[in-house]
Structure 1
Amino acid sequence: TQILLRGLRSISASNSPLIVIDGAVATSGAFNSLNSDEIASINVLKGANLGALYGSRASNGALIVETKKGKFGDSFTVGYNTAVTFDNVAYMPDFQTSNGIGWDGVYDPIENTNWGPRFDGQLRPVGPVFADGSQQMVAYAPIANNLRDFYETGTTARHTFYMSGGNETSKYFMSVGRQNTSGIVPDDSYERTSFRVNASHEIGKLKMDVSSYFVGDEQSVVGSTIGDQNRPLYWFVLNTPANIPLTDYKDWDNPESYAHADNYYNAYYQNPYWAIGTNRDNNNTKRLLANMSATYDILENISVVGRLGINNTWGTGKEWRDAQVYDPVLQPAHSAVSSFLIDTEFQSNESNGNMFVQGNFKLSNDFTIKPIVGATFISTKYRDSEIQANNLSIPGFYDISNGTGALQAKVDQREKFTYGFFADITLGFRDWVYLNLAGRQDYTSTLPSDNNAYFYPAVSLSAVLSDAIPAITDNGILSYAKITVSNATVFNDLRPYALNERFHQQDIVNGSQRFPFPFGAINGFEVSTSAVDANIKKEKLNTTEIGLNLGFLDDRILFDGAVFQTITSDLITFTTPSVASGAQSFLTNIGELESTGIELAVSGNVLKVGDFSWNLSANFSTYKTVVNEITKDIKEVAIENYGTYGTYAIVGEVFPQIKAQSYTRDPQGRVVVGADGNPVVGDVIALGKTTPDFTIGTTSRMSWKGISLSATVDYRTGHVYFAQGANSMEFTGRSKESVSTNRQDFVWPNSVFDNGDDTYTENTNVPITDGVMGFWQNRFNEIKENYVKDATTFKIREVSLGYNVPRSLLEKTKIVQKLTVGVIARNLWTRLPEENRFSDPEFRNTRDTDDGNGIGIGGYLQSPPTRSLGFSVNIEF
C-alpha cells in the first residue's frame, strides 16, 4: 500500500516517506514484512528537517518504527499471540438485474453480454449444443450476488511465540511467527514464517544493540494475463451475465462438465475457475533485516555512535499459463490460448551505516548546546533476471526446458552508492527557546561526476511560551504552549543509469508478424528512444513550516497544528522532445510545484468517572499541490496516459488532474448532439483533481474495568477518480446506466444542436440512435467523462473490543501473568456518493499503489476490496 503523509510533492520521484526500523533505514517491503505483533511503536514525522540526518529519502517525512525489546533488571516473560481474521468482499459494482444474456435485444445462449430481452423466469439454453444434441438449461432470471458469491471467505491465522528477559546489564527479545492466509480468490494463498532477535548489552561506557529479523514467505495467486486476451481475473468475473450461475462452473477440468473449456457457455471469455487452475503466479521470497549499533561515552557529555544495517531480499518466482486448444466439432468462438512459463530470480541488497559524535554542553546558566557531527553511506544493489519459455511441450511440466522455440531472457541490474557528511547543532536558551541548525553534504553515483554533490540545509526555531511567560498558564486552562518555525531544503536525485545511453533487443517486424531477437544465431539491438539532458540537475524541495503545540487542563487535552509550504523546482521528468531530435522522450528538469497544507489534531481524555474513561482524538488535514510552471512550451505532462483518459500535471491546476474524453457543450453547459441525436464527442479535457479538499478523522476509545471499545472513522471529499472497468460493464450491458431508459431511444436531456454560427437550437424531438444497445456500447462508452466519479468517501475504518482479564483472577492460576482477548473489524462500512456505483475509490490499479504518482485510476487488476472480522488472544507467563 502506498503511504503518503503530505500529498504529492513531486511529479515523477517517490512521494513515499522514509522508513526507519530500529534506527536503520529500511524499505517499504521490509516494513510490510514485519510481524505486527512485534511492533512496539510507530512515530510519524512529517517535517522536511529530517533530510539533514537521513538524506533525500526523508524528503517526504519518515515512519520511525521501534520493535519490541526486553527490559533491564531481573525479568523473564514467555508469551503467545494469536489472531484470526475472516475477509469477505466489501464492495462490488451496482449491477442491473432486469436484462440477461443476449445481443441487441435478442437472446443468445453463448454471449458474455447482458443485451438480451427482459428476464421472464423461463428455462432457456446456454452454451454450445453438444454432440448428443443436449444443451445446458438455466432459468432466465437474475441470480442474487452471482458475481459476489464467486469470491470466498478469506482467512488469516497469525501466531507468534515470544520470550523476553534481562538482567542489570543485558536485555533481549526473541520471537517466532507464522502466518497462513487463504485469499478471497479460490486457491490464492500466502504463508509467512519469521524469526526475530533483539538484544542490548552494556559494558561500562559501551552500550551495544543488535536487531535482526528474518522472514520467508510463499505466495500463490492467479496470474494476470489470462486467456487469449491477456485479461485479469476480475475482468472475467465482471463479464458474466446476471442469469449465469457462475459458482456452478468449478469443475473446469472435467470434460463432461459444463465448466470445461469446450463446454463453457461464454464464447468470448474463459471460465474464471479455469483461469485459476491454469494461470498461476508463485513467488518465494526471503528477507533479512539486521542492524547493530554501539554507543560509547567518551566523556560524561560526549559520546560516539556507530550504526550498521543491512536489508537483503532474495527469491524466485514462477508464472505460467497452460495452453488451451478447443474442440474442432463444438468450435467455441475462443481463439486458442498459448502457454508460457516465466522463471524469475531476484535479489536486492542494501547496506547503510553512519557514525557520529554527539555532545551536550551547558555553556552558562542560560545557554546550552547539543552538537552532532557525522558521516553516512547507503549502498544498494538490485538484480532481477527473467527467462521465458513459450509453447510448452508437456502439459503440467513447468520447467524452462519444456519450451519450444527461442527462450526470451532479460536482466534488470542496478547499483547505487551515496555517502555524505552531516552536522546538527541545537542551541538552547533558558530551556524555553531552541535554535537548530543542520546541514548535509551528499555525493551520489547517479549524477554526473562533476555535478554529483549537493548540500541541503535546515533551520528551525522553537519557543516554549508557557515556560517563557508563566502568566499565560495562570488561568488554569492553558498548561503548555510551544511554537516552532522551520525551513529545510532537500534534493531528489536520479534513478541509477538514467544518464547512460541504453540499448535493448528489437523485434523484426514483417507486417503483422513479429520475430524477436535473438533470431537463430543473430542478435540485434537498438538504441533507446529516450534522451537525457546533459545538464540535468537534482530535484529541489524547499519547505517552510509553522507548528503550534498546546496543552490544556494540565495537558489532559492536547492540540497540535501545522501550516506548511513546499516549493519543488527543477522537477525531473520525461517530456516530449522535438521531432528533429530523433528521440521519443527527453529526461530533463522542468518547472515548479507549490504544495501547501494545514494539519490540525486534538486529543485528550474527555471524560473520567470512576473506572470509566473516554479518550477522543480528531484530526483535520488539507493538502494542495499546484503546478506553477512546466516549461515555456509545455503546459502539461502525462503521468498515466490511457489515450482517452489519464492523470496529468497541468499548469495552473492542482496536481494530479484527471483528463478524459468529454461531451461537447455550448457556452451554457448544455450537451451538443448531432443530427442523429447522439452527443458529440468533445476533447480530452481536465475534469477534476484526484486529491481531496480535506480529510477528517476521529478515533474514540472507551474503557471500563478492563473492557475497552475503540472505533476509527474518517471522511474525505472534493476529489474525483476514474472508474476503470465501468466502461467494460457498459459494453457488456451490466451497468445500471444501460437500463436507465428501459433500453429505448430517448432525447438527450437538455441537449442542443450547433447551428455553426455560434448559436444553438434546443433539441426537443430527435432521440439518440440505437438505445437498445449500440448507443451504450459506442457513443456513451466512448465519452470517458461518464466514468469520472465523485470520490467522496466516509468509512468506519476499524472497530475493536478488548478485555484485559484482571490480575486478581490470573493469580489463581499461578502461571498466567497476562491475558487479553479481543475482537476487531476493519473496513467495516463504506458510504459512497450515489453517482459512484462502481468501486471504492481507494481500490486502485497495482501499478499505482507503490511509488506511482498516477493516483485516481480505480482498478480492476486486483480482487475487490475486502472487509475483515476477527479475534485475537494474547497470553503471557
Structure 2
Amino acid sequence: MKTTSLLILSLLLQVVAFAQNVTVTGTVRSTSDNTPLIGVSISVSGTNRGTTTNVNGKYSLSVSGDAVLVFSFLGHVTQQVSVNGRTNIDIALQPGGSDLAEVVVVTALGIKKQQKALGYAVQEVSGETMAKTKTPTALSALTGKVAGLNINNTTDLFRNPGISLRGRSPLIVIDGIPDPDADPYKLNADDIESISVLKGTAAGALYGAMGVNGAILYTTKKGNKGKLLVEVNSSTMFQPGYTVIPEVQTVYGGGDQGRYAYVNGSGGGTEGGGWIWGPKLDQPDPSTPSGFYETTQYDSPIDPNTGQRIKTPWVSRGRNNIRNFFRTGLLSTNSVSASLGTDKGSFRVSASHIFQKGVVPNTELNNSSFSIGGNYALSPRLTMDAKLTYNREYSDNYPTVGYGPPNYLYNLILWIGPDIDIRDLENYWMPGREGLQQRNYNLSWYNNPHFVANELLNGYKRSNSFGQVTFDYEIADNFTVKFRNGFNQHSTNSELREPNSYIAYSYISRGNYSTDVSNYFDINSDLILNYNHQFGKALKLSVTAGGANNYRRFESAYTTTDGLTIPGFYAISNTINPLKGSNALRERRTASAYGMLDIETLGFLYLSLTGRYDKTSTLPVRNNGYFYPSAGVSAVLSDVLKLPAPVSFLKVRGSWAKVNTGFINSNNPYAHITTYGIGAKWNNVPSLNWPTTFISPDLVPETVQSAEYGIAAGFFRNRLNVDATYFRNKDYNNFANVTLSQASGYTSILKNANVYLRKGWEFMVHGTPVTGKDFKWDAAINFSSVHRWLKESTDNPDGYLGLVKEGQRTDRIYITESRAPDGQAIYNSNGMQAYTPVGQYFGHRDADWIYGVQNTFKYKNLSLSFSFDGRLGGLIYSTTNQKMWWGGTAKGTVTSYRDDANAGQSTYVGPGVVVTGGSVEYDAYGNITSDTRKFAPNTTAVNYISFMQTTSGGMLNNYHYYSGTYLKMRELVLTYDLPGRWINGRFNSASVSFIGNNLFILSKMPNVDPDAESDNLQTPSMRSLGFNINLKF
C-alpha cells in the first residue's frame, strides 16, 4: 500500500512538473526582406488555442512547456516548432507556402487543422478579401470565390441572396455557434477575420443534421496583442447607372387593337383593359390644332360647356419612364474598431452603420451593429473567450417584389405605355380627394407607381443579438476540455400600410393596416474533451469527445384590420370590422454526443474518423434517435515519393459520410404529428377539418450518404496550385407525400420514399504567375458543376416521379406547347398555338458549370484586383419578358403586323407547322407511344395582337426560357497604401481605394440580369462606383 501510494504521488508530481505553463513571446518575420509579418496565425498543435501577430510582427501566448506551436501565414511555408520550455521563439517564415496545402484552416466545431491532413475539400477566404468590396451583405462578397458555392445575388433592396453549396443550403456558423436561421445582414464585413467553407457531408458531419449540406464558418476578429490599435473604415458607393434595364417599345401607346379613348379610367372606354396595344404614337394629323392625332386621355382638360374631355395629342411623352422613375442609389458604410491586449488576454470593440438608399423612391435600409469581445487567461491553465454582438436593421419602407399590383415595376414596365409620362403622376392624389383616391391613368386595374412607392409602405424593424462564451481548461499536458455556450436571438416587427384606393386583383382597398411580430431564440451548448499524444515519430493521435444541446423557439403573431375607419390613420384600433389574425409557437430540441479520432502516421498519412448520435424532438419517438459516422483519409505523397522537380506538393484525399436529418419541415417541428385544421363556422360555432394527409408512424430520418475524392498539387515551389474534387451523394429515405386511395379517408401519406443522386466536380487553380522585388501578380480560377438525378421512385412501378423517370435529372423543364419532332411550333387550324395534354421535355434549369476568376496585381504601394464570374448553360424562365410580350411593351412587338392588326387586318402567320394527317398518342408521362402525323407549313393568317395576347410570342422566344449563360465583371478595386513619409507618424497605416461593383455583364437574356437565376419582375440591375478610406492608428 505504501509503495502504491508513493508511486501514485511520484506520477502526480511528474504530471505537475510536465504540465507547467510558460509564456512564449517572439517576433515573426519574412525571410525574403526581414520585415515583420502582421496577422500570422500561431496555434497550439492539437488544440483550439492560439493568437496572431500584431502590427510589429510580435506575439505572446501562454502554453505548456512541451507544446508544439504552428506558425502559418498565407503565401508562406507553415512551420511547427517545439517549445521545450523556452520563453522566446523568433521565427522567419519562407515565402512560397501554398494556402491549398499548408495553411491551418478552421474546421467543424472550430477545431483548427492543417489542410493537408483533411480528407475533404475546404476553402478559406480572408476577411480582408471580403471587406474590400463594399456590398450590402458579407455573403455577396463570396460570389465567384469558392468552387461549388453558388450565390444568386438579387437586384432587389433588402432581399437575401440565394446560396447553395453543392446544390443544397449550407449551415452558417459564427465563431463556433451554429446559426440555422442566419440573417446575412447582421454581420459587419469589417469584423470578419476569415471564412472557411466546409464542403460536403463529411466536412460538416460533426454538426449533425444541421451540417448535412456543409457549412460556412465565419471567424470574427479578436483583439491584437500590444498597444491600443484603432481602425476606421469609411466607404461611399453610388449606383449611377444600369447593368441591365428593361427596354420597352416607345412606338405604340395604351389601348387595345389599335384603339384608345379615355372615359373614366374604370372601363368606360378602351382604357379600361389596360393593354399597351393601342394606336401608334406621334402620327401627323393636319386636321388637329397640334398637328398630331388626338384622343381623350386621363389628363385631358374638361370642356366647361359640355363637361366632356377635350382631345389632346397622342404622342410619346413617356419615352424614358423607367429611368425617370428610378433614382441614384447609395450605399454608405462606416465602421470603427479598437483593440488592445497583454500577455494575459486581448480585447476588441467595434461599431458600424450601413445606410442604403434604394433606387426606388422612398425606399431605404439602415443597419447598425455593435460588437464587444475579448479573451483572458484566468490562470495558467484556464482561458476565457467571449463575444457579444447587437445588430439592428430598420426601414420605413422597402419595395415589394414579384409579379402583382404591389410591385411598382408591374405598373411601370408592363402596364404604362409611352403615351404616359411618369413624371406627370408625381402628384398622386386626386385633387380634392387627398388621402382617399389615388390619381392615375387607370382606376380599375393598376396603381400609380408613385402612389405605391410613397403610400403602400412596408415597415421593418429587426433586432439581432448573438454571441458566445467559451472556457478552455488544460487538465494536463495535451489534455484539454472546452465548454462553449452560444445563442442567437432576433425579434422582428413588420407592418404594412395599405392606403385607400389601392388596387389589388380582387378589390379596391378601403385602407388597411397589418402587423407581424415574431421572436426567435436558439441556444447551443458544447462540452468538448481533447487529448493528443505522440508515439515516437511514427504515430500521432488526437482524440475528441463531446456533447451538445440545441434548443430553438419561435413565436409570432399576425394582426390585420378589415378596412380603416379613419383613412390614413394606421392603427390596429382603427378597424371598421373585427380584427383578423393568427399566432404560432414552435419549439424543438436536439441532444447530441459525438467523437473524433485523428491519426497521423508514417509522416504522410492522415486518417480522421467521426461519429455523432442525435436525439431530436421532430420525429416519432421510436425513431427519433440516430447515429451517423464519417471517415476521411489524406496522403501527402510528396513527403514520401521522389517526384519531378517542378512538383512541390502532391496530396490525394478521400472521405465517406452518412448523415441523417430529422426535420420533415424546417419551419414546422410538429410535421410528424397528425393535427386537425380549422374549418368553417356553423351557426357561429367553429369546426375542425379532418386532415387529408396520413402521417406514417414508421418515419425514419432522411439520409445522405456521400463519398468524395480529391487531389491537390503544387508546382514550382508552390507558385502554382491545383485542386480537383469529385463527389457523389445518395439521398434516400426522403420525406414525401405519396398519393393514397380516397377510400382510405385520406388523399396522401407522408412517408419515406424515393432515392436521388447528386454528383459533381470542383476545380481550383491559383498561384503567383509573376513575382519580383516590387511587383506581384496573384491569380485564381475555380469552376464547378453539380446535378441531381432520380435514382429510384419507390412508389411507382413504372419508375416515374411526376414526369421524371428514374435515371433522369430532376431539373427537367416541361412545357405543354405542342412542337413537332424537329422543334417547330404546331398550330391549330385557327392559326393559334396547339397544346399537348401532358408536359413535354424542353431542357434543364441548372447550369452546366459555374465559375469565378480573380486577379490581383501589386506594384509597390499600389494594388489592383478584379474578378469575373458567371455560369454556363441552363435555362431561366423570365416572367418579365413573357409579360412584356403579352402586354405589348416588348420592343419585339414593333412590327408591320401590329400596324395591320391596328387596321383590323389579320396578316400574321405564326412560324411553324400544322398537322395535315395522322395522329399522335401519349402515355401518362407525356412520352409519345405512336406518331403517324404529317406536317405542312402553317399558312393561316391571324390578328397579330390577338396572337400575342394568347401566346405571349413564346415560339419566337424559346417559350421565354432563356440561356442562363453569362459573364459578369463582379468587382474592381484599386488601392493605394499611403507611404510612411506621408503619414508622418500620425497613423500606423492609411489607404484609399476606388471600387466598382457589378460593372458589366455579357448575357443572352434580354431585359433581366440572370445573376439571380430566376426572374419574377426584378429591379433593374445597377452598377456601383465609389471609394473607401482605411486608417489604422
TM-score, with length taken from structure 1:
0.89
Mean alpha-carbon deviation: is it higher for 130-139 or for 163-172?
130-139
* 1:509-565 C-alpha deviation (Å, 9 max, x unpaired): xxxxxxxx9x86x43332443332221221110111111111111112211111111
State the Cα distance separating 1:296 from its structure 2 match.
Answer: 0.8
Partners of 1:6 and 1:68 in 2: how far apart?
Answer: 24
1:791 corresponds, among 960, 964, 967, to: 964
Partners of 1:42 and 1:723 in 2: how far apart?
Answer: 34
Are residue 863 (structure 1) and residue 1019 (structure 2) matched? yes
Q: Which amino acid aligns with 2:448?
A: N
The secondary structure found in structure 1 opposite 2:1011 is: coil
Residue matched to 2:659: 490
State the Cα distance separating 1:334 from its structure 2 match.
Answer: 11
* 1:201-254 C-alpha deviation (Å, 9 max, x unpaired): 112111211111101111233564999x75433212222112321133111136
Q: Which amino acid aligns with 1:434?
A: Y
State the Cα distance separating 1:342 from its structure 2 match.
Answer: 1.1
Partners of 2:916 and 2:575 in 1: how far apart?
Answer: 60
Partners of 1:629 and 1:380 in 2: how far apart?
Answer: 34
* 1:660-699 C-alpha deviation (Å, 9 max, x unpaired): 332x233343332222222212342332222111123210
The secondary structure found in structure 1 opposite 2:527 is: strand
Are residue 602 (structure 1) and residue 779 (structure 2) matched? no
Residue matched to 1:591: 754
1:271 corresponds, among 419, 424, 448, to: 448
State the Cα distance separating 1:185 from its structure 2 match.
Answer: 1.2
Q: Which amino acid aligns with 1:539?
A: E
Inter-CA distance 386–650: structure 2 relative to 1 (3 Å threshold): farther
Preserved CA contact (<8 Å) 1:666 1:760:
no
Partners of 1:502 and 1:779 in 2: how far apart?
Answer: 43
Q: Which runs of 5+ in 2 are unaligned?
A: 1-138, 152-162, 266-270, 284-291, 901-906, 920-930
Within a 5 Å distance, the mapping from 1:253-652 to structure 2 comes to 253=429, 255=431, 261=437, 263-267=439-443, 268-324=445-501, 336-469=508-641, 471-472=642-643, 475-494=644-663, 495=665, 496-507=669-680, 522-633=685-796, 651-652=806-807
Inter-CA distance 396–780: structure 2 relative to 1 (3 Å threshold): closer
Inter-CA distance 628–790: structure 2 relative to 1 (3 Å threshold): same
Q: Which amino acid aligns with 2:322?
A: L
Q: Which amino acid aligns with 1:728?
A: K
Partners of 2:598 and 2:375 in 1: how far apart?
Answer: 28
State the Cα distance separating 1:128 from its structure 2 match.
Answer: 5.9
The secondary structure found in structure 2 opposite 1:725 is: helix
The secondary structure found in structure 2 opposite 1:655 is: coil
Partners of 2:553 and 2:646 in 1: how far apart?
Answer: 56
Partners of 2:490 and 2:506 in 1: how far apart?
Answer: 41
Inter-CA distance 223–338: structure 2 relative to 1 (3 Å threshold): farther
Partners of 2:257 and 2:799 in 1: how far apart?
Answer: 44
Are residue 242 (structure 1) and residue 418 (structure 2) matched? yes
Partners of 1:740 and 1:717 in 2: how far apart?
Answer: 33
Mean alpha-carbon deviation: is it higher for 582-591 or for 563-572?
582-591
Partners of 1:77 and 1:333 in 2: how far apart?
Answer: 58
Inter-CA distance 796–636: structure 2 relative to 1 (3 Å threshold): farther
State the Cα distance separating 1:506 from its structure 2 match.
Answer: 3.2
State the Cα distance separating 1:586 from its structure 2 match.
Answer: 3.5
State the Cα distance separating 1:579 from its structure 2 match.
Answer: 2.9
State the Cα distance separating 1:43 from its structure 2 match.
Answer: 1.3
Inter-CA distance 325–795: structure 2 relative to 1 (3 Å threshold): closer
State the Cα distance separating 1:780 from its structure 2 match.
Answer: 4.1
Partners of 1:59 and 1:336 in 2: how far apart?
Answer: 47
The secondary structure found in structure 2 opposite 1:406 is: strand
State the Cα distance separating 1:410 from its structure 2 match.
Answer: 0.8
Partners of 1:189 and 1:559 in 2: how far apart?
Answer: 44
The secondary structure found in structure 1 opposite 2:975 is: strand
Partners of 2:877 and 2:406 in 1: how far apart?
Answer: 19
Are residue 172 (structure 1) and residue 347 (structure 2) matched? yes
Inter-CA distance 539–754: structure 2 relative to 1 (3 Å threshold): farther
Partners of 1:325 and 1:182 in 2: how far apart?
Answer: 25
Preserved CA contact (<8 Å) 2:843 2:875:
yes
Q: Which amino acid aligns with 1:792?
A: T
Preserved CA contact (<8 Å) 1:670 1:752:
no
Preserved CA contact (<8 Å) 1:752 1:760:
no
Are residue 215 (structure 1) and residue 391 (structure 2) matched? yes
Residue matched to 1:776: 948
* 1:128-170 C-alpha deviation (Å, 9 max, x unpaired): 6565445684651274432233121111211112111111111
| Alignment length (residue pairs) | 827
Preserved CA contact (<8 Å) 1:7 1:623:
no
Residue matched to 2:940: 767
Partners of 2:313 and 2:862 in 1: how far apart?
Answer: 52
State the Cα distance separating 1:420 from its structure 2 match.
Answer: 0.8
Q: Which amino acid aligns with 1:243?
A: D
2:250 corresponds, among 86, 97, 114, to: 97
Q: Which runs of 5+ in 1 are unaligned?
A: 327-331, 509-516, 639-647, 844-855
Residue matched to 2:43: none
Preserved CA contact (<8 Å) 2:852 2:867:
yes
Residue matched to 2:327: 152
Q: Which amino acid aligns with 2:481?
A: V
Q: Which amino acid aligns with 2:195?
A: I
* 1:36-85 C-alpha deviation (Å, 9 max, x unpaired): 1111111111032234321111111111111111122x221112111111
TM-score, with length taken from structure 2:
0.76
State the Cα distance separating 1:385 from its structure 2 match.
Answer: 0.9
State the Cα distance separating 1:760 from its structure 2 match.
Answer: 4.9
Residue matched to 2:188: 35
Inter-CA distance 226–680: structure 2 relative to 1 (3 Å threshold): closer
State the Cα distance separating 1:312 from its structure 2 match.
Answer: 0.5
Partners of 1:338 and 1:5 in 2: how far apart?
Answer: 50
Partners of 2:712 and 2:736 in 1: how far apart?
Answer: 38
State the Cα distance separating 1:761 from its structure 2 match.
Answer: 5.2
* 1:581-604 C-alpha deviation (Å, 9 max, x unpaired): 444553222211111111111111
RMSD of equivalent CA atoms: 3.0
Partners of 2:801 and 2:464 in 1: how far apart?
Answer: 37
Residue matched to 1:821: 992
1:84 corresponds, among 206, 212, 236, to: 236
Q: Which amino acid aligns with 1:70?
A: G
* 1:252-301 C-alpha deviation (Å, 9 max, x unpaired): 13617999956422243110111122211111110111101111111121
* 1:714-750 C-alpha deviation (Å, 9 max, x unpaired): 2312200111233322231012343356325233334
Partners of 1:258 and 1:140 in 2: how far apart?
Answer: 29
State the Cα distance separating 1:333 from its structure 2 match.
Answer: 13
Partners of 2:745 and 2:354 in 1: how far apart?
Answer: 53
Mean alpha-carbon deviation: is it higher for 34-43 or for 240-249?
240-249
State the Cα distance separating 1:712 from its structure 2 match.
Answer: 0.8
Residue matched to 2:1003: 832
Q: Which amino acid aligns with 1:612?
A: F
Are residue 186 (structure 1) and residue 338 (structure 2) matched? no
Preserved CA contact (<8 Å) 1:280 1:319:
yes
Q: Which amino acid aligns with 1:858?
A: D
Are residue 50 (structure 1) and residue 203 (structure 2) matched? yes
Partners of 2:852 and 2:577 in 1: how far apart?
Answer: 57
Residue matched to 2:49: none
2:815 corresponds, among 641, 660, 675, to: 660
2:380 corresponds, among 204, 212, 227, to: 204
Q: Which amino acid aligns with 2:569?
A: F
Partners of 2:674 and 2:405 in 1: how far apart?
Answer: 32
Residue matched to 2:91: none
* 1:392-444 C-alpha deviation (Å, 9 max, x unpaired): 10112111111122211111221110011111001111331011111111110
Partners of 1:153 and 1:94 in 2: how far apart?
Answer: 19
Inter-CA distance 256–369: structure 2 relative to 1 (3 Å threshold): same
Partners of 1:91 and 1:578 in 2: how far apart?
Answer: 50
Inter-CA distance 300–5: structure 2 relative to 1 (3 Å threshold): same
